[in-house]
Amino acid sequence: GENVEQHPSTLSVQEGDSAVIKCTYSDSASNYFPWYKQELGKRPQLIIDIRSNVGEKKDQRIAVTLNKTAKHFSLHITETQPEDSAVYFCAAGGSGYSTLTFGKGTMLLVSP
């Protein structure tokens, strides 16, 4: 089955800095890669996703890049703000399977 590794487990940045979270996956058949943000005690919420026919996608301060050859994808947050503080999960899925396999999460702390 699919295995998703996520790094780092915690990331502390100053407000205004950029943050990068990286994930690797094992199943070359996976073709859908969402990123979820989970605030403490809340539900995971999709912030951005990318499909395998695209190498990069951007939405305001958030971008995701995908390297299918290397089987890794990354989340980039620019101009971080304290409200970006949360746990971020990457996931991999698709290719006819409805399963999403999640990474272990990255706790992002943005200090004012």
Q: Residues interacting with another protein, by CB under 8 A?
A: 31-32, 34, 36, 42-46, 49, 51, 89, 91, 93-105
58 versus 79: smaller Cβ distance to another protein: 58
In DSSP terms, 102 is beta-bridged to 91
34 versus 74: smaller Cβ distance to another protein: 34
The distance of closest approach from Cβ of residue 9 to another protein in the complex, given in angstroms and rounded to an integer, is 11
The distance of closest approach from Cβ of residue 72 to another protein in the complex, given in angstroms and rounded to an integer, is 18
The distance of closest approach from Cβ of residue 15 to another protein in the complex, given in angstroms and rounded to an integer, is 25
77 versus 100: smaller Cβ distance to another protein: 100
For residue 16, count CB atoms less than 10 angstroms from its CB and return exposed for 0-12, middle for 13-18, buried for 19 or more. exposed
Residue 55: C-alpha distances to residues 7, 47, 60, 67, 85 (Å): 20, 17, 17, 7, 26
Q: What 3-state DSSP class applies to 82? A: helix
13 versus 107: smaller Cβ distance to another protein: 107
- Measured distance CA(39)–CA(95) in Å, rounded: 29
